[in-house]
Structure 1
């Protein structure tokens, strides 16, 4: 089973998307966002710490403490559920159900990728087999906003078919392992409990 980036994998298929809903806090400046060849918005993250280290745990507790006392396990449970919903919505070509989980730049990028796929009469099929891991790798507060970056390592089956139903990318039975870092933000002053996906990046 090969190990590749989620972004690299879905670039091979067209583009992949993301987003998410949950409890806690954050909003980070779009000035830190860049656009890679994949077209997905990427965030220049701060230096990442290994998961489960004391400095990171302390910072994560502080950030989550600003969001109604949500703990690490609850946050990660919500993040994994959001990951599954968002990947499924992107593959289905319908972001309506996850619209409130996506920042506007991310939603715009995903819609563009979906439109390109539809114009080619292509169909993306994605099955999330399971999570190998989901660990926070960075967290912080920026004025009245909080952000948390999570490294997902997932196993999935994904393939692209053309208008004739022929497979052009991927394989319907091959399971690949992909790694990506998603950054979520939420304003701690907002009554909206949703964390919003603001960027994705390949994870080491």
Structure 2
């Protein structure tokens, strides 16, 4: 009987010793231990814990970085962008309005033979052609009656900057009544009662470094 008591005491002491060893190795959780799901911490930094609230968060790009401007999609836009860069006051909408006014004024002045009005609006080459036609009419005593009845919105079709010279070509589609009469009133060209549709391509030019803000007509005719 005594031997059995001794054995029980010995087993109890061994069990107690094993429990103590396990407790000393594993220790107690204090809340600072890493869980298996926690990512390793990088050197010199920390990793924010992932939660259900942050799993779907997507980082936005750094807005402090300058955003490159969109590239022009065609030669016309590229030319207009070059002109705007060289002349910050240039606006295509304002230019088109001015071109429409110039078209009406030049057509009327040419029909009236008003070279004084045409001179500042035209380049030397274009003015020489217009002036020669006006002189011919005066020599033959012919007169021209021209009136713009309707006009579609003018459309820019080409723009470019060569050195300091900016050029913009505008497409004009208009209905005009035009008639050329002899000295005795006989119509030799056109029709005084019927409007005819005309399509014109006029190119205006300007030195972007010049103080004069006005553009001049440098060419007329079909667009290549």
Contact 2:179/2:188, CA 8 A, preserved across alignment: yes
Q: Which has the higher helix share?
A: 2
Cα shift at 1:161? 0.5
Alpha-carbon distance in structure 2 between the residues aligned to 1:202 and 1:122: 27
Alpha-carbon distance in structure 2 between the residues aligned to 1:203 and 1:146: 17
Is there any run of 5+ residues in structure 1 with no aligned partner, and where? Answer: 1-52
Q: Which has the higher strand share?
A: 1
- Using structure 1 for the length normalisation, give the TM-score: 0.70
Contact 2:203/2:220, CA 8 A, preserved across alignment: yes
Alpha-carbon distance in structure 1 between the residues aligned to 2:85 and 2:177: 37
Is there any run of 5+ residues in structure 2 with no aligned partner, and where? Answer: 1-71
- Which deviates more from structure 2 when the two are superposed, residues 113-122 or residues 66-75? 66-75
Alpha-carbon distance in structure 2 between the residues aligned to 1:68 and 1:85: 27
- Partner residue of 2:14? none
Contact 2:110/2:118, CA 8 A, preserved across alignment: no
Which of structure 1's runs of 4+ aligned residues deviate more than 3 A? none
Alpha-carbon distance in structure 2 between the residues aligned to 1:133 and 1:176: 17
- Partner residue of 2:194? 174
Cα shift at 1:59? 2.4
**Are residue 199 (structure 1) and residue 219 (structure 2) matched?**
yes
Q: How does 1:123-202 map to 2 (within 5 A)?
A: 123-202=143-222
Structure with bigger RCO (C-alpha 8 Å, 6+ apart)? 1
User: Which residue of the other structure, out of 73, 78, 82, is the alignment partner of 1:54?
Assistant: 73
How many residues are matched?
152
**Are residue 95 (structure 1) and residue 115 (structure 2) matched?**
yes
- Partner residue of 1:119? 139
Contact 2:149/2:177, CA 8 A, preserved across alignment: yes
Q: Deviations over 1:135-161 (max 9, x none)?
A: 111111111111111111111100011
C-alpha RMSD over aligned residues: 1.6
